[in-house]
Amino acid sequence: MVDLAQFLVGGLAAGTLYGLVALGIVLLYRSSRVLNFAHGDVATLGAFLAFTLLVGLNWPFAPSVVASLIGTAAAGALFYFVVLRPVKEATLLGRIVVTLGLALTLSGANTLAFGADTKVFPFPLSDIRVYRLSGVVISQLSLGLSAAGVILMALLYLLVQRTRIGLAMRAVSQDLVAAQALGIPSRRIFALTWALAGALAAAAGILAAPVTLLTPFMMLDPFLKGFAAAVLGGMDSMPGAVLGGWLLGVMESLFAGYISVKFKTTLAFLIIILTLMVRPEGLLGREFHRRV
């Protein structure tokens, strides 16, 4: 029982990161039906920005993180205005290819600007100090990262569900023409959505960096897991993204603990295939109907 509880705790901690990544993917998909394949590279950029401010300029931790979130949010909004909006008449596949181009560009830029060597991200919490509860061990770092992830999820939910901006975002995602007829500035809302997704990506990158270490490709695995979590929970459901992240994290942990660590990564792809076969809209997603 202790082993099972340990696996569950570890899985929920990893699942919080997956859910945070999935939220950024779902946020953009809900608004524009575009899968942003550059989300992981934006997260890496945010982590490198924070690292540069922390180590290169000796900024305190909190201002470095805030500046990184603002910087990546601005980059997300800029990408929408400069690149994505001019190709708004392109096909859905064309817009997805644009995000792939952004991913390759950011990956190369991150490598060129920050180097390909592995760096240790300075974090105020320790991975050595641990807490024990009924035989279950959790490190201070894992506990802090999980708490930060849950807080960010709750803040995003409150923003989308309890504010006028969130109401406008939901209106634009549900019926763009009707929202524009009511006077909602759709371009600003889309830009804000991309900015929020950029900030979420940066937060995920900063939370992942102390665990994965800082490299230009550190978010490849978390991005794939976040994408799997979004498919599992439902691409148009924010609660589904969180639920999918936690379920995927727990399943991965149990699979690694009782079956095989080597094939743990393939579990995410298996989940994507099974979900699309059995319930394409995801656990909490709604079936999408196109009017013809």
- Provide mean pLDDT across the span 113-132: 89
- Domains detected in the chain: 2-278 (1.10.3470)
- Provide mean pLDDT across the span 95-109: 92
Phi, psi angles (nearest 5°) of residue 139? -80, 160
Where are the alpha helices (H) located in 131-265, listed in sequence order?
140-162, 164-174, 176-181, 186-212, 220-233, 238-258
| pLDDT over threshold 70, residue 34 | yes
Our CA angle for 61, 63, 64, nearest 5°, is 60
CA-CA distance, 40 to 201, in Å (whole number)?
A: 7
Q: Quick one: 224 exposed, middle or buried, by C-beta within 10 A (0-12, 13-18, 19+)?
A: middle
Average pLDDT of every residue of the chain: 90
Largest pairwise CA distance in the chain: 59
| pLDDT over threshold 60, residue 288 | no
| Whether 222 contacts 66, CB under 8 Å | no
- Helix (H) / strand (E) containing 78: helix 61-79
What's the pLDDT score for residue 291?
45
Quote the pTM value. 0.93
| Percent of the chain whose predicted confidence (pLDDT) is above 90 | 61
Q: Cα dist. 156→34, 121, 238, 285 in Å?
A: 20, 25, 9, 18
- The better pLDDT of the pair 38, 135 is held by 38
Chain centroid to Cα 258, Å, comes to 28
